[in-house]
Structure 1
């Protein structure tokens, strides 16, 4: 099956305009278009945002019966649709359903003056759907007659480049089944798998990727035999499987993090002692260590090279969805070495603090 890449993602949110304000002012996305009842999208308001090659749709249900309203009620704001670019949406839909996918929306053609788009939808993981998108003509048309592009892209230096991956949490016991589903139905292949243990917590991770290499899912499952951790917390707050974070690739993470931080994006902190042992763990890093320390940027390595990464704090009330910025310098993995390194760094800081006599400031 020819899946070229990720065409766009769609978030179901409680307030599309409020979400657009954050992604616009803080993350640097541009509002490019919108759709709603007046364009044939009954019961919803959708806003189209773009940044470089990343396209994001924010949709709010205007009635209690709309799927977006039901999704938000159950899961909170989150990624509800991962749209896949294909050559033949109708053919792909028929093939996927024949292989065992649940058909959700049959092929539909959207026609405009300069573009024609065919879409169809099938089930993915949890309540997340995959929208198959076939584009003909002007690619800026997006969804003619549904979500109309109303503003050209303003000139800007992009801080982000493209969607690198989506990290997906599934309940205990469902990882193997989910992996088989993507292998059997979508022709994805396993490219990485591991068991991660730290501080009495543990998780299993398997990465699956489309044959084109342009769509990557990092599938995470908590180890139910160990004490609960962050994956368990996500599943409890989200009420089931879903996208925990969206990985966005950047060509210059130091510049991107500095700029987004000035715009109001809050990033997860890193213990200072993490950087004391960094080059011993990953080798020489082609970036000023003090700058990485100031910005809380993490570094990991694999047989292909290094990667630099950082995670934002969640801005959602359930704290279930956040962003990752990642710069790849040859590495193809996803920074699992940082999980243990961060824990060990925190332990060193706690030990150092405990060694300071009472009444003395370290």
Structure 2
């Protein structure tokens, strides 16, 4: 049974400027195209604490692909690999390496969502289709967004099965404990030079989003590199998409490095929320996840900047967790090193203690840490 519920239907509007005509109820799943789904599933289970949920492949009648569905809290990942040469999935992996193909959005009416976005200028990925089995039906539709990334609208109000028709329950003996991840806080896209405003306008016009905040190269810059970013959000605030583009700097920025190795625009990172970042990050580190580190000097005056916090600073500094505050509270965040062979996608762990911002006060320390990694790779 889905862990998603219908409480979001009554959510107050967090972003009053958003039209929210779809509306979106949450992130349904994130699908990654990967070279070896079986091994990738083991990684996300063992290292990240995801639980096995569903499977589709030869045993369920699929001939061209295999998919493993993992779940933790309200986060669902689909890991999909091709079973034969040629075709869309192989082409995607060859061009981009492992990466996010689909950000699926939970809606009440997938046909309405498709029609409303396409009439406003979205390019169709696939038209509405209904999948059925003995547990009910799921309606899907899809549109293109930046690069080869797509949005799939998922309507599942008439389905009671484990995931969706075509999948069977996956219950292996190995089911590791979770690490306390709760939901997708936001997902960040990297786009090319001077493309940020184009895609922000896409989300505003086509999907009814509104801009929450923007950062220019004065906000996000170091001695060597810079970037620009705007955060787009739907009305209830459950879907937040920061969009980054490069800005002029003395050396190659992280956005340029990403686009070079991903071979175009794509999802840079997923931010996953937790209620106890110290426990979550400690568990992840024990399981082999590597995080970016900041100098010890960061913690010497951080409380002067952010004020009093509930947590003890010692474990935060030992783990390298960053702290920032806005008018509504503070947040704790940390970023992994790239989790793939190519220096492309990474994951952010975030705990919000009232703050609705994105860690502006940490940008300089964070991007200097990223630059140290770039320098070690010879790509700065």
Given the two structures, how large is their TM-score scaled by the length of structure 2? 0.86
Q: Which runs of 5+ in 2 are unaligned?
A: 1-21, 371-380
Q: 1:311 aligns with which of 326, 330, 335?
A: 335
Question: 2:68 aligns to what?
Answer: 47
Cα separation, 2, equivalents of 1:300 and 1:277: 12
Q: 1:83 aligns with which of 95, 104, 121?
A: 104
Question: 2:347 aligns to what?
Answer: 323
Check if 1:36 corresponds to 2:57.
yes
Cα separation, 2, equivalents of 1:139 and 1:156: 25
Check if 1:338 corresponds to 2:359.
no
Give the match's secondary structure for 2:356: coil
Tell me if structure 1 keeps the 8 A contact 2:104–2:153. yes
Cα separation, 2, equivalents of 1:137 and 1:232: 44
Tell me if structure 2 keeps the 8 A contact 1:115–1:141. no
Cα distance change of structure 1 residues 345 and 234 upon mapping to structure 2, 3 Å threshold:
closer
Q: After TM superposition, list the pairs within 5 Å mapping 1:1-362 onto structure 2.
A: 1-144=22-165, 146-151=166-171, 159-195=180-216, 196-224=220-248, 227-342=251-366
Cα separation, 1, equivalents of 2:58 and 2:208: 37
Cα separation, 1, equivalents of 2:39 and 2:291: 20
Cα separation, 2, equivalents of 1:294 and 1:74: 38
Judge which range, 129-138 or 235-244, deviates more: 129-138
Moved over 4 A (4+): 152-158, 342-346
Tell me if structure 1 keeps the 8 A contact 2:227–2:245. yes
Give the match's secondary structure for 1:219: strand
Cα separation, 1, equivalents of 2:45 and 2:61: 26
Judge which range, 24-33 or 64-73, deviates more: 64-73
Give the match's secondary structure for 1:161: strand
Judge which range, 236-245 or 149-158, deviates more: 149-158
Give the match's secondary structure for 1:214: coil
Question: 1:355 aligns to what?
Answer: none
Tell me if structure 1 keeps the 8 A contact 2:135–2:160. no
Cα distance change of structure 1 residues 253 and 102 upon mapping to structure 2, 3 Å threshold:
same
Cα separation, 2, equivalents of 1:19 and 1:154: 15
Cα separation, 2, equivalents of 1:226 and 1:311: 24
Tell me if structure 2 keeps the 8 A contact 1:33–1:147. yes
Cα distance change of structure 1 residues 104 and 272 upon mapping to structure 2, 3 Å threshold:
same
Cα separation, 2, equivalents of 1:239 and 1:37: 31
Tell me if structure 2 keeps the 8 A contact 1:117–1:142. no
Given the two structures, how large is their TM-score scaled by the length of structure 1? 0.90
Tell me if structure 1 keeps the 8 A contact 2:225–2:248. no
Cα separation, 2, equivalents of 1:158 and 1:48: 17
Give the CA deviation at 1:180.
0.4
Judge which range, 41-50 or 164-173, deviates more: 41-50
The Cα RMSD (Å) is 2.2
Judge which range, 108-117 or 37-46, deviates more: 37-46
Cα separation, 1, equivalents of 2:114 and 2:367: 44
